[in-house]
Amino acid sequence: MSTVMQQLKETTDFIKSKVTGEASIGIILGSGLGNLANEIVIEFEIAYNDIPHFPVSTVEGHKGKFMFGELGGKKVWVMGGRFHFYEGYTAQQVAYPVRVMRMLGVDTLLLSNAAGGVNQAFKVGDLMIINDHISFFIVNPLLGKNEDAIGTRFPDMSEPYDKNLINKVISIAAKNEIAVHQGVYTGVTGPTFETRAEYKLIKALGGDAVGMSTVQETITAVHSGMKVFAMSVITDLGIREEENVITHAEVLEAAHNAEPKLTLLFTELIKTL
């Protein structure tokens, strides 16, 4: 057994020793979006630093807890806060919790994030369903020896985000009169926000939004055979006329204001799974 597989076994054995239930749905909450956890009937929660081989979230707006409970009438595993490459973790460490979720029985992964708007039709507070991504600016988490027990050496990424889940959320949004966009998410390393020239480049490449997370998690999930749905809250605008400066505090505030809509969409989607 490889070191990675041994660590995954130790992590999942530890979590299973604490939780008797099972869940096939996993959720990872992004910056300022952790309050969705308040809607969950939590049966178990544990700090990341108490879990063997788990990284520890260091970013404001991320609770840093792994939870098990019920949402929308279904059992769910929830990460209240994620890990980022810019925190100093390797791409494999960023992806590690996704693999843990898979070994715990998760086959559908729901992701949320705060993102910068590149599409000039977007406004602060808008919601964007991610229907594709650009990963050229991040480190691929599958670099190195492939773990054949998890997935194939060369996973297909032509449709990383599940169309059926996307269509369900579009219907739910229409029923509840919530405006949603669809678009391409461009992953970058951070932690700096993008320059004006970088925003223009991302737009030219076909990106509608840009952020510092999600892509590595999606690649890992698809590699292990999971279905993925992801949604961005547009918390700032990259291509703009005024000379305003983006701050993390403003990102958190915009995410917090949009959270009730995202919570409703995620909860209603889970009811259909």
| Average pLDDT estimate for 113-124 | 92
The strand pairing partners of 80, in sequence order, are 29, 65
**Lowest mean pLDDT across 72-76, 185-189, 211-215, 241-245:** 241-245
The confidence score (pLDDT) of residue 28 equals: 94
Confidence of residue 59 (pLDDT cuts 50, 70, 90): low
**Lowest mean pLDDT across 86-100, 121-135, 232-246:** 232-246
Q: Report CA torsion sign: 153, 89, 203, 227.
A: positive
Spatial separation of the C-alpha atoms in residues 66 and 77, rounded to whole Å: 7
Spatial separation of the C-alpha atoms in residues 81 and 16, rounded to whole Å: 21
> Do 112 and 165 touch, CB atoms closer than 8 A?
no
* Residue 43, C-beta contacts closer than 8 angstroms, at least 6 positions apart: 19, 21, 68, 69, 70
What pLDDT, in 10s, does the model give residues 228-268?
Answer: 999 999 988 876 666 666 676 776 777 777 888 999 999 99
Domain range spanning residue 236?
A: 22-272
The confidence score (pLDDT) of residue 64 equals: 82
The confidence score (pLDDT) of residue 238 equals: 79
Nearest to 269 by CA among 158, 159, 180, 183: 180
Structural domain includes residue 65: yes
Percent of the chain with pLDDT over 70: 92
Structural domain includes residue 182: yes
Helix, strand, or coil (residue 160): coil
Spatial separation of the C-alpha atoms in residues 167 and 229, rounded to whole Å: 10
Asked whether residue 204 carries a pLDDT value surpassing 90, the answer given is yes
CATH number of residue 201's parent domain: 3.40.50.1580
Structural domain includes residue 60: yes
The confidence score (pLDDT) of residue 207 equals: 98
The confidence score (pLDDT) of residue 271 equals: 96
What pLDDT, in 10s, does the model give residues 144-162?
Answer: 999 999 999 999 999 999 9
> Do 109 and 226 touch, CB atoms closer than 8 A?
yes
Structural domain includes residue 10: no
Spatial separation of the C-alpha atoms in residues 273 and 267, rounded to whole Å: 10
Structural domain includes residue 51: yes
**Number of structural domains found in the chain:** 1
* Residue 101, C-beta contacts closer than 8 angstroms, at least 6 positions apart: 26, 77, 79, 109
| Average pLDDT estimate for 174-192 | 96
Q: CA 151 from chain center: how many Å?
A: 20
Structural domain includes residue 4: no
Asked whether residue 62 carries a pLDDT value surpassing 80, the answer given is no
The confidence score (pLDDT) of residue 55 equals: 83
| Average pLDDT estimate for 87-92 | 93
Structural domain includes residue 5: no
- pTM recorded for the entire structure: 0.93
Structural domain includes residue 2: no
User: Residue 164: what residue type?
Assistant: N
Helix, strand, or coil (residue 112): strand
By CB atoms closer than 10 A (0-12, 13-18, 19+), residue 80 is buried
The confidence score (pLDDT) of residue 60 equals: 56
Note if the bond before 155 is cis, omega within 30 degrees: no
